[in-house]
Amino acid sequence: MLDKNGPPVGWDLDIRTRASKLAADPDLLHDDGATGIARLTLSEALVIGLLKQGVTQFYAIFGHGSTDLGEVLRVYSEEGALAVINCRNEVEMAHAATAYAWVYGKTPAVITSIGPGGLQAMAGSLAAASNGVGVYHIYGDETTRGEGYNMQQVPKPEQGIFGKVTALMGQSYTLHTPEALRECLRRGTACVHHPYKPGPFFVMLPINTQPQEAEFNIRTLPGRSRVPALAPALESDFAEAVDLLRSHERVVIKAGGGTRNHAEAVRRLASRIGAPVVLSPGSTGVLRDDHAQNMHVGGSKGSISGNFAMENADAVIFIGSRGVCQADCSGVGYPNARAVLNINGDFNDLMHYANTVALPGDISAVIDRLLAALGENTGSRTRTGWLRQCAAKKGEWTDFKTARFNAAPIHDAVWQRPVLAQPAAIHAVADFAKRKGAVKFFDAGDVQANGFQVVEDDAPGETFTETGASFMGFSGSALLGSAGVADAKYGIAFTGDGSFMMNPQILIDAVEHGVRGMIALFDNRRMAAITGLQLAQYGKEFRTNDSVAVDYAALAGAVSGVKAIFGGHSRDELDAALETAFAHDGLSLVHIPVYSGEDPLAGMGAYGSWNVGNWVADVEARYIEATI
């Protein structure tokens, strides 16, 4: 109801009353009859603006650069309008926020100050940027008055340096005056809610502008950006694509990470045109694992079937793919391809390959129009033999996997006894996660590389693997993404000993915030992914292992509330340990010693090329000859 004398009733009251009203009825932010002009501090207006965009989860490490913002968050949190998760490490909370957005589809905010904290949070934001996940990062910044060096600013006589640094990482805006808030939030939602390529948006919040009061029109603060699904407008726009599909026999679909939210459309296209589908590490589950046309992952750490389909295809349909070096073998993964059809909303990725027919827009909308243009003549009849060849290779891959999943423990020089090889151990935990309906998070390194070759997902969202930035320490931190979430999904972090020690703060923060989940720690006492690369390229390993034994069960067990268990040396012992860990109402850790060595059962193998080390000359020579 409008007040006859001016602002709507409610906004001219004190901060706690405003917070209480918004907690009781969040729709007030979107009701023209109940919102209007209010005099607020910039800090409170920012919080209200974020609430209007659906941001209710804040991950925070408060410092001297965020005391005013922190006070606003305290009041709004106490009134139930939002949740604040205090953390112990900025990288950890950036990962937790990324996981929250990635798993639950809601936008969070990260709060810290510039300086070491901001740099760490910014480093963690690389995971969000690389995997296309929208997250707000809000850093308390140096004052706008220039009264002298502010503590933690870059000690250089130049203006707004942290804003420049964050602008390199993603998109950034400095709230130099309260009146700039509307534009800041408009740019922010365009970034974090981008329909095709969301990412982190950095808000620089100067210490002295936070408590400044100004008049804000709540009606005009932008809500969450929503863009209609777009596709090429004319039938003629699809003519070249139709001709490509009807004139090529060995067509393969490469489903990139952008297909995660378009699985149904990708499945319809693959079925109609009779094309095998090669997955990226971030798109497992887009086709069911046992689907006849699912060739599994392809790339430099691909699979027998996935790389066969890539190497023998005469045309490629790239869907939602960035053309990452490891996914397309540094540009030489399709040596026989002569034509490309690219479906992507991002114009830069759309034209990554030569000889491309481009269909920009929303993936599902574009596929709908493409199938309508194809009609009954999809070219699928010519691909029967091609699919048989691919199916035979999938059979080889299935047999190869089964041999490693069922492998007996192997004697290991470090453990001085037989222990499970990593594929067998990872499969045991992944199979357990599938039975329990648990979400799997994978860290960087050998666990991750074997992991995306091992997992048998039937839908997107069963596995979240941080292959975009390969950020060590992601998976354990990701468990904190479920803090405060009603009906939170049970998460299992798949991590190596090296990755876990990069960021073990989850041991404390999970207990503090009541997280229920599990850390499966695969311990081979080395950086096995790099060891394997060194041996493959130069025949020698160098400085990728250590001689320090760590009892991770004892380490984790020292934290009150953590259930720490030794995973044993056999599949039966590991299965029993996983059941015990899962039964714990809180965070558990299972320490799993795994084999590292040159036994062929120790890994899932490598099947493609990569432009690194002493392979460079060969890969770059083949790249020059590539036709796409």
Return the pLDDT at 2.
35
Q: Which of 453, 446, 273 is nearest to 376 (CA)?
A: 273
Return the pLDDT at 35.
62
Whether residue 7 is predicted with pLDDT greater than 90 in this model: the reply is: no
Return the pLDDT at 33.
56
Pair of tokens at residue 561: 């509330």
> In a 10 Å sphere around its CB, with 0-12 CB exposed, 13-18 middle and 19+ buried, how is residue 468 labelled?
buried
Delimit the domains of the chain by residue range: 15-220, 235-392, 414-596
Whether residue 116 is predicted with pLDDT greater than 90 in this model: the reply is: yes
Predicted model pTM: 0.95
Whether residue 1 is predicted with pLDDT greater than 80 in this model: the reply is: no
360-370: string of b/e by CB count within 10 Å (b at 16+)? bbbbbbbbbbb
State in words which class domain 235-392 has: alpha beta
Return the pLDDT at 544.
86
pLDDT, tens only, 493-516: 999 999 999 999 999 999 999 999
pLDDT, tens only, 389-415: 999 999 999 999 999 999 999 999 999
Average pLDDT over residues 96-116: 97
Strand 294-297, strand 213-217: pairing: unpaired
Whether residue 5 is predicted with pLDDT greater than 60 in this model: the reply is: no
Q: Which residues pair with 129 in a beta bridge?
A: none
Whether residue 419 is predicted with pLDDT greater than 90 in this model: the reply is: yes
Return the pLDDT at 192.
98
Return the pLDDT at 12.
66
Amino acid at 304: I
d(CA 21, CA 64): 29
Return the pLDDT at 70.
97
Helices (H) and strands (E) in the chain — how many of each?
22, 22
Q: How far is CA 180 from CA 32, 137, 167, 209, 559, in A?
A: 22, 17, 17, 11, 45
Q: How far is CA 312 from CA 79, 127, 386, 616, in A?
A: 61, 33, 9, 22
Whether residue 542 is predicted with pLDDT greater than 50 in this model: the reply is: yes
Strand 410-412, strand 417-421: pairing: antiparallel
Cβ 141 vs Cβ 165: under 8 Å: no
**Average pLDDT score, the chain:** 93
The domain 15-220: what is its CATH number?
Answer: 3.40.50.970
* Residue 34: DSSP 8-state: T
Tell which CATH classification among 3.40.50.970, 3.40.640.10, 1.10.10.60, 3.40.50.2000 matches the domain 414-596. 3.40.50.970
Pair of tokens at residue 508: 């404390």
Average pLDDT over residues 86-104: 97
Note whether 15-220 and 235-392 share their fold. yes
Whether residue 481 is predicted with pLDDT greater than 60 in this model: the reply is: yes
Whether residue 8 is predicted with pLDDT greater than 50 in this model: the reply is: no
